[in-house]
A = this chain, B = another copy of it.
Amino acid sequence: MIQGKNEEAFFPRKLRMGMVGGGRDAFIGAVHRRAACLEGGVELIAGAFSSTAEKSKASGRDLYLDDSRVYGTWQEMVEVEAKLPSDQRLDFVSVVVPNHMHYPIIISLVEAGFNVVTDKPLCHTVEQARSIVRAVKAAGVLFGVTYNYSGYPMVRQARHMVASGALGEIRKVAVEYPQGWLAERVELTGQKQAEWRTDPARCGITGAIGDLGSHAEHLMSYITGLQIADICADLTVFVEGRQLDDDGAMLLRFTNGAKGMLSASQVCTGQENTLSIRVWGTKAGLEWRQETPMFLRVRSNSGPEQLYTPGNPWVCEAAADGTRLPAGHPEAYIEAFANIYKNYTDTLRARILGIEPSEIMLDFPTAEDGARGVAFLHKVVESSQSAVKWTPFDFAL
Protein backbone atom coordinates (compact mmCIF):
# COMPACT_ATOMS: atom_id res chain seq x y z
CA MET A 1 0.00 0.00 0.00
CA ILE A 2 2.74 2.36 1.00
CA GLN A 3 4.47 3.78 -1.99
CA GLY A 4 6.50 1.31 -3.91
CA LYS A 5 6.07 -1.70 -1.73
CA ASN A 6 3.40 -3.22 -3.90
CA GLU A 7 3.23 -2.21 -7.53
CA GLU A 8 -0.27 -3.57 -7.98
CA ALA A 9 -1.65 -1.50 -5.14
CA PHE A 10 0.39 1.56 -5.92
CA PHE A 11 -1.17 4.77 -4.72
CA PRO A 12 -0.24 7.43 -7.20
CA ARG A 13 -0.34 10.67 -5.24
CA LYS A 14 0.04 12.19 -1.79
CA LEU A 15 -3.12 12.24 0.28
CA ARG A 16 -4.60 15.69 0.77
CA MET A 17 -4.92 16.61 4.42
CA GLY A 18 -6.93 19.37 6.06
CA MET A 19 -6.68 20.60 9.62
CA VAL A 20 -9.00 22.34 12.08
CA GLY A 21 -7.06 23.98 14.89
CA GLY A 22 -3.31 23.84 15.34
CA GLY A 23 -2.41 27.46 14.68
CA ARG A 24 0.45 29.43 16.15
CA ASP A 25 0.86 28.79 19.91
CA ALA A 26 -0.91 25.45 19.69
CA PHE A 27 1.12 22.40 20.62
CA ILE A 28 -0.56 19.26 19.36
CA GLY A 29 -1.35 20.56 15.88
CA ALA A 30 2.30 20.63 14.91
CA VAL A 31 2.68 17.09 16.20
CA HIS A 32 -0.20 15.95 14.00
CA ARG A 33 1.33 17.62 10.97
CA ARG A 34 4.76 16.09 11.53
CA ALA A 35 3.21 12.69 12.28
CA ALA A 36 0.92 12.70 9.26
CA CYS A 37 3.70 13.75 6.88
CA LEU A 38 6.57 11.67 8.28
CA GLU A 39 6.15 8.87 5.76
CA GLY A 40 6.08 11.28 2.84
CA GLY A 41 2.64 10.27 1.61
CA VAL A 42 0.51 13.09 2.97
CA GLU A 43 0.43 16.78 2.18
CA LEU A 44 -1.30 19.48 4.18
CA ILE A 45 -3.52 21.41 1.77
CA ALA A 46 -6.12 23.34 3.73
CA GLY A 47 -7.02 24.46 7.20
CA ALA A 48 -8.93 26.61 9.64
CA PHE A 49 -6.21 27.03 12.20
CA SER A 50 -7.36 29.53 14.76
CA SER A 51 -10.26 31.22 16.41
CA THR A 52 -9.73 34.42 14.43
CA ALA A 53 -9.45 34.74 10.68
CA GLU A 54 -6.29 36.80 10.94
CA LYS A 55 -4.48 34.26 13.07
CA SER A 56 -5.68 31.46 10.85
CA LYS A 57 -4.35 33.18 7.74
CA ALA A 58 -1.00 33.84 9.43
CA SER A 59 -0.74 30.20 10.40
CA GLY A 60 -1.55 29.15 6.86
CA ARG A 61 1.27 31.32 5.58
CA ASP A 62 3.67 29.76 8.10
CA LEU A 63 2.74 26.43 6.59
CA TYR A 64 3.12 27.62 2.98
CA LEU A 65 -0.51 26.89 2.18
CA ASP A 66 -2.28 28.45 -0.73
CA ASP A 67 -4.17 31.33 0.79
CA SER A 68 -7.37 30.24 -0.88
CA ARG A 69 -7.41 27.06 1.19
CA VAL A 70 -6.96 28.83 4.52
CA TYR A 71 -10.22 29.67 6.29
CA GLY A 72 -11.29 32.12 8.93
CA THR A 73 -13.67 29.65 10.57
CA TRP A 74 -14.10 25.92 10.53
CA GLN A 75 -17.69 26.34 9.36
CA GLU A 76 -16.46 28.18 6.29
CA MET A 77 -13.87 25.51 5.66
CA VAL A 78 -16.40 22.70 5.79
CA GLU A 79 -18.78 24.54 3.54
CA VAL A 80 -16.25 25.48 0.87
CA GLU A 81 -14.12 22.36 0.90
CA ALA A 82 -17.15 20.08 0.69
CA LYS A 83 -17.97 21.55 -2.70
CA LEU A 84 -14.57 21.09 -4.27
CA PRO A 85 -14.24 18.63 -7.14
CA SER A 86 -12.86 15.22 -6.26
CA ASP A 87 -9.41 15.90 -7.60
CA GLN A 88 -8.98 18.76 -5.15
CA ARG A 89 -11.05 17.50 -2.30
CA LEU A 90 -9.37 16.71 1.00
CA ASP A 91 -8.83 13.02 1.65
CA PHE A 92 -9.12 13.57 5.38
CA VAL A 93 -9.28 16.29 8.00
CA SER A 94 -7.50 16.32 11.36
CA VAL A 95 -9.28 17.94 14.30
CA VAL A 96 -6.87 19.32 16.87
CA VAL A 97 -8.92 21.92 18.75
CA PRO A 98 -9.50 21.99 22.53
CA ASN A 99 -11.90 19.32 23.79
CA HIS A 100 -15.07 21.39 23.96
CA MET A 101 -15.02 22.11 20.22
CA HIS A 102 -14.55 18.49 19.14
CA TYR A 103 -18.19 17.58 18.91
CA PRO A 104 -19.67 20.20 16.59
CA ILE A 105 -16.68 20.14 14.28
CA ILE A 106 -16.51 16.36 14.05
CA ILE A 107 -20.24 16.03 13.41
CA SER A 108 -20.14 18.73 10.80
CA LEU A 109 -17.15 17.17 9.01
CA VAL A 110 -18.57 13.65 9.13
CA GLU A 111 -21.95 14.72 7.89
CA ALA A 112 -20.26 16.57 5.04
CA GLY A 113 -18.62 13.29 4.12
CA PHE A 114 -15.06 13.97 5.27
CA ASN A 115 -12.84 11.28 6.65
CA VAL A 116 -11.68 12.48 10.06
CA VAL A 117 -8.84 12.04 12.49
CA THR A 118 -9.40 13.63 15.88
CA ASP A 119 -7.36 14.13 18.97
CA LYS A 120 -8.63 12.51 22.13
CA PRO A 121 -10.89 12.60 24.04
CA LEU A 122 -13.51 12.15 21.35
CA CYS A 123 -15.97 14.65 22.90
CA HIS A 124 -17.53 15.78 26.16
CA THR A 125 -20.59 13.61 26.74
CA VAL A 126 -21.60 10.04 26.16
CA GLU A 127 -24.57 11.27 24.14
CA GLN A 128 -22.22 13.16 21.86
CA ALA A 129 -20.03 10.09 21.55
CA ARG A 130 -22.98 7.94 20.54
CA SER A 131 -24.00 10.56 17.97
CA ILE A 132 -20.56 10.57 16.48
CA VAL A 133 -20.43 6.79 16.21
CA ARG A 134 -23.85 6.81 14.55
CA ALA A 135 -22.89 9.63 12.18
CA VAL A 136 -19.66 7.90 11.18
CA LYS A 137 -21.60 4.73 10.35
CA ALA A 138 -24.26 6.61 8.46
CA ALA A 139 -21.75 8.59 6.43
CA GLY A 140 -19.46 5.66 5.85
CA VAL A 141 -16.37 7.76 6.46
CA LEU A 142 -13.09 6.55 7.92
CA PHE A 143 -12.59 7.79 11.44
CA GLY A 144 -9.56 7.69 13.71
CA VAL A 145 -8.69 8.92 17.21
CA THR A 146 -5.08 9.65 18.11
CA TYR A 147 -4.53 7.69 21.26
CA ASN A 148 -0.97 8.04 20.13
CA TYR A 149 0.73 5.87 22.74
CA SER A 150 -0.69 2.76 21.11
CA GLY A 151 1.50 3.56 18.12
CA TYR A 152 4.75 2.67 19.90
CA PRO A 153 6.30 -0.53 18.52
CA MET A 154 6.91 -1.99 21.97
CA VAL A 155 3.30 -1.32 22.94
CA ARG A 156 2.30 -3.34 19.91
CA GLN A 157 4.72 -6.06 20.94
CA ALA A 158 3.08 -6.05 24.38
CA ARG A 159 -0.35 -6.40 22.82
CA HIS A 160 0.95 -9.19 20.63
CA MET A 161 2.39 -11.08 23.57
CA VAL A 162 -0.86 -10.86 25.51
CA ALA A 163 -2.92 -11.87 22.49
CA SER A 164 -0.64 -14.77 21.64
CA GLY A 165 -0.91 -16.16 25.15
CA ALA A 166 2.71 -15.57 26.13
CA LEU A 167 1.54 -14.08 29.43
CA GLY A 168 -1.08 -16.72 30.11
CA GLU A 169 -4.36 -15.52 31.56
CA ILE A 170 -4.13 -11.89 32.67
CA ARG A 171 -4.57 -11.38 36.39
CA LYS A 172 -3.43 -7.88 37.18
CA VAL A 173 -2.83 -4.60 35.41
CA ALA A 174 -1.20 -1.46 36.77
CA VAL A 175 -1.30 1.61 34.58
CA GLU A 176 -0.40 5.08 35.66
CA TYR A 177 0.23 8.47 34.17
CA PRO A 178 1.80 10.94 36.57
CA GLN A 179 2.79 14.41 35.42
CA GLY A 180 3.90 17.25 37.64
CA TRP A 181 3.62 20.44 35.64
CA LEU A 182 0.35 21.60 37.27
CA ALA A 183 1.62 21.18 40.84
CA GLU A 184 1.20 24.92 41.13
CA ARG A 185 -1.52 27.11 39.65
CA VAL A 186 0.24 27.58 36.33
CA GLU A 187 -3.08 28.39 34.65
CA LEU A 188 -2.96 31.85 36.21
CA THR A 189 0.38 32.68 34.57
CA GLY A 190 -0.91 32.89 31.00
CA GLN A 191 0.21 29.38 30.05
CA LYS A 192 -2.37 28.50 27.39
CA GLN A 193 -1.99 24.74 27.65
CA ALA A 194 -2.67 24.96 31.37
CA GLU A 195 -5.57 27.39 30.93
CA TRP A 196 -7.86 25.22 28.86
CA ARG A 197 -6.91 22.01 30.62
CA THR A 198 -8.16 23.40 33.94
CA ASP A 199 -11.26 25.08 32.59
CA PRO A 200 -14.45 22.96 32.86
CA ALA A 201 -16.03 24.82 29.95
CA ARG A 202 -13.29 23.82 27.57
CA CYS A 203 -11.95 20.61 29.13
CA GLY A 204 -15.13 18.86 30.25
CA ILE A 205 -16.08 17.18 33.50
CA THR A 206 -12.62 15.99 34.43
CA GLY A 207 -9.08 17.34 34.34
CA ALA A 208 -6.25 14.89 35.03
CA ILE A 209 -8.36 11.84 34.35
CA GLY A 210 -9.66 13.26 31.09
CA ASP A 211 -6.31 14.49 29.91
CA LEU A 212 -4.12 11.62 31.06
CA GLY A 213 -6.32 8.88 32.45
CA SER A 214 -8.00 8.55 29.07
CA HIS A 215 -4.63 7.64 27.54
CA ALA A 216 -4.06 5.17 30.36
CA GLU A 217 -7.45 3.54 29.81
CA HIS A 218 -6.85 3.18 26.10
CA LEU A 219 -3.33 1.84 26.53
CA MET A 220 -4.59 -0.76 28.97
CA SER A 221 -7.48 -1.79 26.76
CA TYR A 222 -5.29 -1.85 23.68
CA ILE A 223 -2.63 -4.07 25.21
CA THR A 224 -4.77 -6.40 27.29
CA GLY A 225 -8.12 -6.51 25.50
CA LEU A 226 -9.71 -6.67 28.95
CA GLN A 227 -13.09 -5.10 29.61
CA ILE A 228 -13.68 -3.08 32.74
CA ALA A 229 -16.56 -4.41 34.81
CA ASP A 230 -16.44 -2.10 37.84
CA ILE A 231 -14.69 1.09 38.87
CA CYS A 232 -13.84 2.43 42.32
CA ALA A 233 -12.37 5.89 41.87
CA ASP A 234 -11.15 8.74 44.01
CA LEU A 235 -10.53 12.04 42.24
CA THR A 236 -8.90 14.97 43.95
CA VAL A 237 -8.42 18.67 43.40
CA PHE A 238 -5.14 19.37 45.12
CA VAL A 239 -4.34 22.87 43.96
CA GLU A 240 -6.53 25.38 45.69
CA GLY A 241 -8.86 27.33 43.45
CA ARG A 242 -8.83 24.75 40.71
CA GLN A 243 -12.19 23.32 39.65
CA LEU A 244 -11.26 20.08 37.94
CA ASP A 245 -9.49 17.07 39.38
CA ASP A 246 -5.73 17.33 39.07
CA ASP A 247 -5.23 13.83 40.42
CA GLY A 248 -7.10 10.59 40.45
CA ALA A 249 -6.67 6.95 41.32
CA MET A 250 -8.92 3.95 40.98
CA LEU A 251 -9.26 0.24 41.53
CA LEU A 252 -10.67 -1.76 38.64
CA ARG A 253 -12.34 -5.12 38.22
CA PHE A 254 -12.43 -6.69 34.80
CA THR A 255 -15.03 -9.01 33.37
CA ASN A 256 -12.58 -11.93 33.30
CA GLY A 257 -11.81 -11.63 37.01
CA ALA A 258 -8.59 -9.69 36.60
CA LYS A 259 -7.93 -6.68 38.80
CA GLY A 260 -6.41 -3.34 37.98
CA MET A 261 -5.05 -0.08 39.32
CA LEU A 262 -5.16 3.08 37.26
CA SER A 263 -3.97 6.51 38.25
CA ALA A 264 -3.26 9.83 36.63
CA SER A 265 -2.04 13.07 38.05
CA GLN A 266 -0.93 16.54 37.11
CA VAL A 267 0.53 17.31 40.52
CA CYS A 268 3.20 14.64 40.88
CA THR A 269 5.92 17.22 41.21
CA GLY A 270 8.92 16.54 39.03
CA GLN A 271 7.33 13.85 36.87
CA GLU A 272 7.52 14.76 33.22
CA ASN A 273 5.32 12.38 31.27
CA THR A 274 5.66 9.14 33.13
CA LEU A 275 2.98 6.99 31.55
CA SER A 276 3.67 3.32 32.28
CA ILE A 277 1.90 0.01 32.21
CA ARG A 278 2.54 -3.36 33.77
CA VAL A 279 0.55 -6.48 33.05
CA TRP A 280 0.87 -9.77 34.89
CA GLY A 281 -0.52 -13.06 33.72
CA THR A 282 -0.32 -16.62 34.90
CA LYS A 283 2.79 -17.23 32.80
CA ALA A 284 4.63 -13.94 32.56
CA GLY A 285 4.47 -10.21 33.17
CA LEU A 286 5.49 -7.19 31.13
CA GLU A 287 6.41 -3.57 31.75
CA TRP A 288 6.55 -0.60 29.40
CA ARG A 289 7.39 3.01 30.23
CA GLN A 290 6.73 5.89 27.88
CA GLU A 291 9.82 7.87 28.85
CA THR A 292 12.06 5.03 27.61
CA PRO A 293 9.73 3.68 24.97
CA MET A 294 12.22 1.43 23.18
CA PHE A 295 12.26 -1.06 26.04
CA LEU A 296 9.70 -3.74 26.85
CA ARG A 297 10.62 -5.87 29.84
CA VAL A 298 9.15 -9.34 30.06
CA ARG A 299 9.49 -11.33 33.25
CA SER A 300 8.58 -14.84 34.25
CA ASN A 301 9.27 -17.30 37.02
CA SER A 302 11.13 -19.60 34.66
CA GLY A 303 14.04 -17.63 33.25
CA PRO A 304 15.87 -14.28 33.23
CA GLU A 305 14.01 -11.05 32.53
CA GLN A 306 14.01 -10.29 28.82
CA LEU A 307 14.38 -6.89 27.23
CA TYR A 308 12.57 -6.52 23.93
CA THR A 309 13.64 -3.70 21.63
CA PRO A 310 12.42 -2.73 18.15
CA GLY A 311 14.19 -3.56 14.93
CA ASN A 312 14.97 -7.15 15.85
CA PRO A 313 13.72 -10.21 14.00
CA TRP A 314 12.05 -11.60 17.11
CA VAL A 315 9.51 -8.82 17.50
CA CYS A 316 6.03 -9.13 16.07
CA GLU A 317 4.95 -7.94 12.64
CA ALA A 318 2.89 -5.03 13.94
CA ALA A 319 5.90 -3.71 15.86
CA ALA A 320 8.16 -4.19 12.86
CA ASP A 321 5.71 -2.37 10.64
CA GLY A 322 5.89 0.67 12.91
CA THR A 323 9.70 0.71 13.01
CA ARG A 324 11.69 2.78 10.53
CA LEU A 325 15.23 2.29 11.77
CA PRO A 326 17.58 -0.56 12.63
CA ALA A 327 17.79 -1.83 16.20
CA GLY A 328 19.37 0.62 18.61
CA HIS A 329 18.36 3.70 16.63
CA PRO A 330 15.66 5.08 18.88
CA GLU A 331 12.29 6.22 17.61
CA ALA A 332 9.99 8.11 19.88
CA TYR A 333 6.83 10.13 20.39
CA ILE A 334 6.47 11.63 16.93
CA GLU A 335 7.19 8.32 15.23
CA ALA A 336 4.61 6.55 17.40
CA PHE A 337 2.13 9.27 16.57
CA ALA A 338 3.05 8.81 12.92
CA ASN A 339 2.28 5.11 13.20
CA ILE A 340 -1.33 5.91 14.01
CA TYR A 341 -1.48 8.12 10.94
CA LYS A 342 0.35 5.54 8.86
CA ASN A 343 -2.22 2.87 9.58
CA TYR A 344 -5.11 5.28 9.19
CA THR A 345 -3.88 6.59 5.85
CA ASP A 346 -2.92 3.14 4.57
CA THR A 347 -6.46 2.01 5.32
CA LEU A 348 -7.73 5.12 3.57
CA ARG A 349 -5.62 4.42 0.49
CA ALA A 350 -6.89 0.83 0.45
CA ARG A 351 -10.46 2.10 0.60
CA ILE A 352 -9.85 4.52 -2.23
CA LEU A 353 -8.24 1.80 -4.31
CA GLY A 354 -11.08 -0.55 -3.43
CA ILE A 355 -8.89 -3.19 -1.87
CA GLU A 356 -9.07 -4.86 1.52
CA PRO A 357 -6.92 -3.25 4.22
CA SER A 358 -4.69 -5.65 6.14
CA GLU A 359 -5.11 -6.34 9.83
CA ILE A 360 -2.06 -4.22 10.53
CA MET A 361 -3.44 -1.24 8.61
CA LEU A 362 -6.65 -1.44 10.62
CA ASP A 363 -4.75 -1.13 13.86
CA PHE A 364 -5.66 2.43 14.85
CA PRO A 365 -8.16 3.73 17.42
CA THR A 366 -11.70 4.15 16.13
CA ALA A 367 -14.77 6.19 17.02
CA GLU A 368 -15.93 3.25 19.12
CA ASP A 369 -12.67 3.34 21.09
CA GLY A 370 -13.15 7.05 21.53
CA ALA A 371 -16.73 6.59 22.69
CA ARG A 372 -15.73 3.96 25.22
CA GLY A 373 -13.12 6.40 26.47
CA VAL A 374 -15.70 9.14 27.00
CA ALA A 375 -18.00 6.73 28.82
CA PHE A 376 -15.09 5.69 31.00
CA LEU A 377 -14.44 9.27 32.08
CA HIS A 378 -18.06 9.73 33.05
CA LYS A 379 -18.15 6.53 35.06
CA VAL A 380 -14.95 7.50 36.84
CA VAL A 381 -16.44 10.81 37.89
CA GLU A 382 -19.64 9.04 38.95
CA SER A 383 -17.67 6.54 40.99
CA SER A 384 -15.60 9.23 42.62
CA GLN A 385 -18.78 10.94 43.82
CA SER A 386 -20.32 7.71 45.09
CA ALA A 387 -20.15 6.29 48.60
CA VAL A 388 -20.70 2.83 47.18
CA LYS A 389 -17.49 1.02 46.45
CA TRP A 390 -18.07 -0.33 42.97
CA THR A 391 -19.68 1.52 40.08
CA PRO A 392 -20.46 -0.82 37.19
CA PHE A 393 -19.04 0.11 33.81
CA ASP A 394 -21.77 -1.20 31.59
CA PHE A 395 -20.99 0.76 28.46
CA ALA A 396 -22.60 -0.28 25.21
CA LEU A 397 -22.87 1.79 22.09
Interface residues of A (CB under 8 A from B): 3-4, 10, 12-14, 24, 27, 30-31, 33-34, 37-38, 40-41, 44, 58-59, 61-64, 167-168, 171-172, 174, 176, 178-181, 183-184, 232, 234, 236, 238, 247, 249-251, 253, 259, 261, 263, 265, 267-274, 278, 280-285, 290-294, 298-309, 311-312, 314, 324-335, 386-390
Number of copies: 4
Q: Are B285 and A180 in contact (CB under 8 A)?
A: yes
Q: How far is the CB of A324 from chain B (nearest CB, A)?
A: 7
Task: Give the residue among A13, A24, A236 with the most B Cβ atoms within 10 A.
Answer: A236
Q: Which chain B residues lie closer than 8 Å to A180 at the CB level?
A: 280, 285, 299, 301
B183 adjacent to A282 (CB under 8 Å): yes
Question: By the criterion CB–CB under 8 Å, are B269 and A299 in contact?
Answer: yes
Complex contacts, A386 vs chain B, CB 8 Å: 389
Task: List chain B residues, Cβ under 8 A from A38.
Answer: 34, 38, 334
Q: Which residues of B contact A335 (CB under 8 A)?
A: 332, 334
A305-B270, A309-B272 in contact; A328/B27 too (CB < 8 A)? no
A293 to B291, CA, bound (A): 11
- A268, B253: Cβ atoms under 8 Å? no
In the assembled complex, which residues on chain B have CB atoms less than 8 Å from the CB atom of A61? 3-4, 10, 12
**In the bound complex, what is the Cα–Cα distance between A325 and B43 (angstroms)?**
22
**Which residue on chain B has the smallest CB distance to residue A297?**
B307
Q: How far, in angstroms, from A326 to B197 measured CA to CA in the complex?
A: 15
Contact assessment for B285 and A268 in the assembled complex, using a CB-CB cutoff below 8 Å = yes
Tell me which of B236, B301, B324 contacts A181 (CB under 8 A).
B301
Measured between beta carbons, the chain B residues less than 8 angstroms from A267 are 171-172, 280
Closest to A64 in B: B14
